[in-house]
Amino acid sequence: MKDVSEMYIPTYDDVVAANERIAPYIHRTPVLTSSYLNRLTGAELFFKCENFQKAGAFKVRGASNAVFGLSDEQAARGVATHSSGNHGLSLSYAAGRRGIPCTVVMPRTAPQAKKDAVKGYGGRVVECEPSTSSREAVFAEVVAETGAEFVHPYNDPRVIAGQGTCSRELASQVEGLDAVVAPIGGGGMISGSCLTLSHVAPGVKVYAAEPKQADDAARSFRAGHIIADDAPETVADGLKVPLKELTWHFVRNFVTDILTAEEDEIVAAMKTIWKRMKIVMEPSSAVPLATILKNKDIFAGKRVGVIITGGNVDLDHLPWIKG
């Protein structure tokens, strides 16, 4: 892994530029509240609903910033990534809006619905075996063949600056926030939130929320260096990936704490949000509420932003229904 000193660390100016660049292609998502959940937690919660975002997740912010920041010459060769989740979908959406090629390398074992979704936005899916070595080999072939620009799902300053536009909107939509809680997987959303909030509202504490069964970020945070788990299993399938040097930079320097929740707590929090707030969101997006419910003393009486990161869930297989 590279040292972060070899990488460009995005600044708040990059977030402002990203906001300008991507505004025509994304939604300014609404902030919802629930009097029931406020009573339940003893806090005032403000849910930033990126499940209503284009392509169904916040990831479209970073992907669009990368795509629309390319020179015409770079853009003509297209973009590429490896992702079986929201980043692949988002990059395909953004490339489609710019009218340039996009290739997403996905394991052949990924659900057909996810492959179809990428294709639905005009992207090309190239399959690899479900192993890191196969993915890297296939991806290298794609890049060699097309000259496409690699857009990493999170360890990329363009992507982090794009994700930072979410907390920028939130801070303008809700006055006097005390804290923001967002899920942490690779750390792109958390890094963008730290980047923005440390500039526009430095008193706001940033908490990362992680499944206990994939708590590599929490353990990294306590150890003082990156720890990567080997194939963690969690219902919050967007949060299995490890930190990388750029996101680690933001986590170690700006995050107040990383809180964890058990699988059953995540599923219960997800179902409560569906039932009470009437919104469809992913298991990953329920981890913040699950951790708030376990740590009421931290948040009692506080005004807390909660990032609902995405809404792309398999409606045929909901985690509280045994099939």
Q: Are 192 and 166 in contact (CB under 8 A)?
A: yes
Does 122 contact a second copy by CB under 8 A?
no
Q: At what angle do helices 59-68 and 157-173 cross, to 10 degrees?
A: 130
Residue (260 or 309) nearer to a second copy, CB: 309
Residue linked to tokens 């995005």: 10
Cα separations in angstroms, 8 against 5, 17, 78, 210: 8, 16, 22, 27
Q: How far apart are CA 110 and CA 157, in angstroms?
A: 27
Does 279 contact a second copy by CB under 8 A?
yes
Does 31 contact a second copy by CB under 8 A?
no
Does 323 contact a second copy by CB under 8 A?
yes
Among 22, 32, 43, 255, binds a second copy (CB under 8 A): 32
Among 56, 69, 183, 238, binds a second copy (CB under 8 A): 56
Does 318 contact a second copy by CB under 8 A?
yes
Q: How far apart are CA 156 and CA 149, in angstroms?
A: 12
Among 187, 192, 311, 319, binds a second copy (CB under 8 A): 311
Residue linked to tokens 């997006």: 285
Q: Report the relative pairing of strands 205-211 and 124-128 from DSSP bridges.
A: unpaired
Q: Report the relative pairing of strands 44-49 and 31-32 from DSSP bridges.
A: antiparallel
Does 112 contact a second copy by CB under 8 A?
no
Which range touches a second copy (CB under 8 A), out of 129-137, 172-180, 237-245, 274-282?
274-282
Does 39 contact a second copy by CB under 8 A?
no
Does 40 contact a second copy by CB under 8 A?
no
Chain contacts with a second copy (rule: CB under 8 A): 30, 32, 51-52, 56, 271, 274-275, 277-281, 311, 315-316, 318, 320-321, 323
